[in-house]
Chain A
Amino acid sequence: MKLFYCLLLFVTPAVFAQKSIQGKVTDHRGNALPGANVFLKGTYDGGTTDANGVFVFLTAESDTATMAASYVGFEVFEKKLNLKESIPVMTIKLEELANELNTVVITAGAFEASDEKRMAMLKPLDIVTTAGAAADITGAMQFLPGAQRVGEQEGLFVRGGSGQETKIVIDGMIVQNPFFSSLPDVQSRGRFNPFMFKGTSFSTGGYSAQYGQALSSVLLLNTTDKISNNGLGISLNLANAGLNYDYANKNQSVSAVVYYGNLRPLFKLVKQNVEWLHAPEFKGTSLTYRWKPTKNGVLKVYGMYSDSHLSMNSKDPSSDTGEMRLVLKNNNAFTTSTYTDSWADGRWTLNSGLSYSRNKDNMTWDGVNFDRFDERTQARIVLTRLLTGNNTILFGAEAHAINIGNGIDGKMYRLKDRYTAAFVESEIYITRALAGRIGVRSEYSSVIGRANVAPRLSFAYKTGRYSQISLAAGQFYQNPDYRYLYLNKSLKYERADHLILNYQIIKNQRTFRVETFYKNYAQLVREFTGQRFDADPYRFPWGATNNGGDGYARGFDFFWRDQKSIKNLDYWVTYSFVDSKRLFQQYEQSATPIFISNHNISLITKKWFEKAKTNLSATYAFTSGRPYYNPNNDEFLKDRTPAVHNVSIQASKLQSIKGNLVIFYATVDNILNTRNVFTYRYTPDGKTRYAVGPQSYRSFFVGMQIMLSKKAKVEKDDF
């Protein structure tokens, strides 16, 4: 009996005959995975694979056990083993988890700049460090492939589209007045500070069914949700002075900005081609509030108000003196609030928003009233459902109430539009290498009493670890310009059909991208005045109108960016070619529109000097000649302006002064003082031609930003 107890005592620490388990771990192609963890679940028994993916370990388990194999970036493998039997040498194949190298992303027509996406071709901070962009969002977008530069007008001109064919969208909400009030032959800046946004996505066409009312492109801006606690900051430059203050606690944050600007000092220093009677003077304020009421929920409220005052003598060949006196006072307010949340481990996501904007231009031309007024109230809701295998489906709807008023020669025209839209879109991964996005959008506009249905489609296929091809197609509708609708409410939607093919390869901080497109325009508005073509871009379209116009745009563009070859040097080159003709507006025959330049080239370089804490940037931009109307030429729009060249440089320097961080910056635009001409106009008798060029030729700008807080940490790309 004693012997029995003794045996029992010896048996407990269990030194049964140990079994050896061995094999190999590979990926699905059979490549060895060194460092994989192979073990019996619930025991300490296991091992790590060696350089050849081979593992071997001993176990004392004698029953059944679950063997597991795990490797970072791969799905866990599990298998039941019966340890009573002998275990043969195993080969375990692991499946890779979806990651950005093995999963395709739909990219045709999309040019993304975001903090989060590692593959983003342009980061938000690139906007402010690009010479020639004047820290303006659309200014930087003009250097991207697919964009054409039109020096005397604001807006983004994309692939043969006019500036009105691009909508600017903040957090899903259309921005009614993204630019400061338009002036004759002066390009206005955007109202928004690039630092407000975490991501920018510039679409060159074929965009998602989530957006509408843009024949050419959407520029999607997503406000940052990061809560910063930078304290007080001061900005001072030749044109304005501002204060900004950030405060954040755990779940809430507030940022406030106030500024006052006056361009008089700058105009004293930089020779102006425009005769200013009252240099632009502006003041404004904005407030951002963010709140995280639940774990995933974020409420953002943004409000801004600005007003401005200016007066100038504008060239006007039709008046006796050859010029007209413009006085403009503008009030602009924009508020937007969005709420996003997600439930059920992210399977459901909600994006909703409410926004109101109001803009008033008190404007007189030689004392005659030309007031402009508009307001837009909009609501939007989008629900996204994440399905298995990363497939998603989303549903959404939006409603807008738009009121517009326009004074023409002292007479007020008014318009009311109630616009609604609904959309559904699904992203489907057929395999990790092949994905598709199918969507449809339907809209109704009360002002024309019409509805439309627009399908959108894109596909992407991964051709290699770093390369892919994408295809996008779709139909896009937009209401006719409101100026036509004042007199004719029976007009139809204008339409564009897009087809885009894209190839890109991104490897080791180098990007190559080529895209080719064909765009068909239909139902464009034509105007019949029974008179000669009138090239004045600011005329009121009083003629009879119908939707008999059409047109096309086709072309291709290249993009090459290299951030790797030379340390701290980043450069990119773009080339865009477009060929386009249209029969629209007052055109008597199909012709290349005046805003089209066939060739656009830009070369952007940035170099960071570590020791001097200085960033230098230089930009060269080339825009080929554009058509202009010559009343003395029998052929319509056959004349071309000379090409536009611009070389600009920018330097920014970081300096710590008594623990406060100061950023100094200086830029010189058009350093070669090229006498660029954007277009030509003629006096009514057709005898005298005059040139429309930039507001100034060579110009410079200096300023600084002070952060009065030790908390403010700034890295090389933060200015």
Chain B
Amino acid sequence: MKRLFTFALLFVLATGMVWAQNEKYTKAMGDGINALLAIDRSKPDPKALVEIANRFERIAAAEPKEWLPKYYAAYANVLLGFVAPTLTEKDQYLDKANALLKDAEGVAGKPNDEIEVLKAYQSQIHLAADPMNRWQTDGEKFQGFLQAAKSINAENPRIYYLEASSAFFTPEEYGGGKKVAKPMLEKAQQKFTAFKPESGIHPDWGKMETEWMLSQTN
């Protein structure tokens, strides 16, 4: 009886440790994601973003088999690529995001629509850093990544959000503008309503931005 009890206890302990480890990961990820959500989108604080990027990078280093920490670290670096003051710094963050995405792709093992979407976002921000010289190459890349994401999962709402935002910020003279973006944003909004992330720590960004842009089109 005592032996059985010992075994049972040991079993509980062992699984408990695994569970604790898992919980620690989920919690750390959840904290990081909440910190990301807390960032003011209209005026992101670079310091806070660096903090968040670092946090995800640490998780990524500790959990080499998970693609999500790398994904979020890349996402934070893309945002930094947008807010950094100089072109050199922007590119450093964006290059880092690229490297992280490559790692994430390797860990994920199979084609992943969220990674393709983030690659598209990376190209969009890369383009925005120096539009005169990059619109052509990055524009093609942006479209290519979104196409790849669509072929994996056409229901991913972030695909439509990025398409719409690209149109939204393109001046009317060049075939863009709020009018053109409106139906695209509406489509993105529909997709967001139908979308259920796989878990609490899977990508689920873009809805807020879509709604803000939509409010600007009226």
Chain A interface (Cβ < 8 Å from any Cβ of B): 1, 5, 8-9, 12-13, 34-35, 37, 39, 41-48, 68, 70, 72-73, 99-101, 115, 118, 123, 125, 226-229, 250, 613, 654-656, 659, 661, 710, 712-718
Contacts and interface: CB of A to CB of B under 8 A. Distances in A.
A44 B27 CA distance: 11
Contacts of B152: none
Contacts of B20: 12-13
Contacts of B57: 37, 39, 70
Given A12-B13, A118-B87, A656 B172 contact: yes
A715 B132 contact: yes
A35 B84 CA distance: 13
Interface in B21-53: 24, 28, 46-47, 50-51, 53
The 10 closest A-B pairs by CB, nearest first: A37-B54, A35-B50, A73-B92, A39-B58, A72-B92, A46-B58, A717-B132, A48-B54, A48-B51, A656-B173
Contact of B58 (A8, A44, A99): A44
B140 A228 contact: yes
A123 B47 CA distance: 35
A70 B175 CA distance: 42
Contacts of B51: 35, 48
A707 to B, nearest CB: 10
Interface string B8-21: 01000100110010
Interface string B75-94: 00100100000011100110
Given A123-B133, A715-B132, A226 B93 contact: no
A716 B136 contact: no
B62 A42 contact: yes
B137 interface: yes
Nearest to B80: A72
Contact of A713 (B47, B58, B132, B174): B174
Contact of B174 (A5, A42, A661): A661
Nearest to B73: A37
Contacts of A115: 133, 136-137
Contact of A72 (B2, B9, B96): B96
Contacts of B61: 39, 41-42, 68
Contacts, number: 102
A227 B131 CA distance: 18
B2, B20, B50, B59 pick with most chain A CB within 10 angstroms: B50
A712 B174 CA distance: 8
B139 interface: yes
A154 B62 CA distance: 65
A37 B59 CA distance: 12
Nearest to B97: A72
A96 to B, nearest CB: 11
Contacts of A99: 88, 92
Contact of B50 (A43, A44, A48): A48
A113 to B, nearest CB: 11
Contacts of A43: 58, 62
A387 to B, nearest CB: 22
B140 A226 contact: yes
A125 B131 CA distance: 13
Given A12-B20, A42-B61, A73-B92, A714 B28 contact: no
A54 to B, nearest CB: 14
A172 B28 CA distance: 54
Contacts of B87: 118
Contact of A655 (B2, B17, B80, B173): B173
A118 B175 CA distance: 28
A46 B28 CA distance: 13
A710 B175 contact: yes
20 contacts: A12-B16, A37-B53, A37-B58, A39-B61, A41-B61, A44-B58, A44-B62, A47-B54, A48-B50, A48-B55, A72-B89, A72-B92, A118-B87, A118-B133, A654-B174, A656-B174, A656-B175, A661-B174, A713-B170, A714-B174
B80 to A, nearest CB: 8
Contacts of A72: 77, 80, 89, 92-93, 96
Nearest to B24: A44
B51, B55, B58 pick with most chain A CB within 10 angstroms: B58
A472 to B, nearest CB: 27
Contact of A226 (B62, B80, B136): B136
A229 B136 CA distance: 10
Interface in B154-191: 170, 172-175
Nearest to A225: B137
Nearest to A717: B132
Contacts of B28: 44
A158 B55 CA distance: 56
A45 to B, nearest CB: 8
Contacts of A8: 9, 13
B130 interface: yes
Given A72-B92, A661-B174, A713-B135, A118 B50 contact: no
A251 to B, nearest CB: 11
A444 to B, nearest CB: 40
A119 B94 CA distance: 19
A9 B20 CA distance: 13
Contacts of B144: 250
Contacts of B96: 72
Nearest to A248: B140
B175 A713 contact: yes
A101 B58 contact: no
A568 B194 CA distance: 45
Contacts of A45: 58
B175 A35 contact: no
Contacts of A715: 131-132, 135, 174
A391 to B, nearest CB: 21
A490 B183 CA distance: 76
Nearest to A250: B144
A661 B46 CA distance: 38
Nearest to B28: A44
B176 to A, nearest CB: 8
Contacts of B24: 44
Given A34-B47, A39-B54, A715-B132, 4 more contacts: A12-B17, A39-B58, A115-B133, A123-B133
A681 B50 CA distance: 72
B173 A654 contact: yes
B203 to A, nearest CB: 21
A10 to B, nearest CB: 11
Contacts of B58: 37, 39, 43-46
A187 to B, nearest CB: 31
Contacts of B59: 44
Contacts of B62: 41-44
Contacts of A44: 24, 28, 58-59, 62
Given A12-B17, A37-B58, A48-B51, A713 B88 contact: no
B209 to A, nearest CB: 22
B142 to A, nearest CB: 11
A465 to B, nearest CB: 11
A392 to B, nearest CB: 21
A332 B88 CA distance: 45
Contacts of A125: 132
A311 to B, nearest CB: 42
A414 to B, nearest CB: 46
B130 A118 contact: yes
A111 to B, nearest CB: 17
B175 A661 contact: yes
Nearest to B93: A72
A115 B136 CA distance: 10
A292 B61 CA distance: 35
A46 B175 contact: no
A49 to B, nearest CB: 9
Contacts of A250: 144
Interface string B104-136: 000000000000000000000000001111011
Contacts of B46: 35
A654 B132 CA distance: 15
A8, A715, A717 pick with most chain B CB within 10 angstroms: A715
